[in-house]
Homo-oligomer: A and B are copies of this chain.
Amino acid sequence: MADTTKKTIILFSGDYDKVMAALIIANGAAAMGDDVTIFATFWGLNALRKHQKVSVKKKPLQAMFGMMMPRGIKRLGMSKMNFAGMGPKMMDMVVKSEGAMFLPQLLEAAMEQGVKFVACTMTMDLLGFKKEELLDGIEYAGVASYLAEADEANVNLFI
């Protein structure tokens, strides 16, 4: 049964602002001693991509998907006020001026605090992501694994 020491987040979105919200919640819960699992699926997988180009063999359509999607957490767009890529730069400027944490720092902090990142293998197949392209230290699983963890958690968000 659910207790109050576990949280799960499905990270469907790969938008700068939504990923930031997810990571702030995850870091906050981890700081309070909770187990936190983030299941990245669809566009959320982009936040877990390595920034450097990784040479992997893909089918043509999935190679195209790969080129069109942002490579890593430093390249995400905003869900609002993206302004052709200026939005994230403006956000980074206010993050800096307010002394807040940048997205890559939030991700690193989450990993250091033991937040578990799981990449959804089914959407990896659809969008053509290979494990070599994603960050080290993450896990791989499907919907059954998500549901098993959600059943143990008391807060389950879809972001």
Residues of A whose CB lies within 8 Å of any CB of B are: 1-4, 10, 12, 14, 17-18, 21, 24-25, 27-29, 31-32, 34, 41-43, 59, 61-62, 64-65, 68-69, 79-81, 90-91, 93-95, 97-98, 100, 122, 125-128, 142-144, 146-147, 150-151, 154-159
A32-B144, A144-B28 given; A17·B42 CB < 8 A: yes
A-B contact pairs, 12 of them (CB 8 A): A1-B4, A25-B146, A28-B142, A28-B146, A31-B144, A32-B144, A43-B80, A59-B94, A59-B97, A65-B90, A95-B126, A98-B125
A159 CB contacts on chain B under 8 angstroms: 12, 158
Contact B4 A21 (CB under 8 A): no
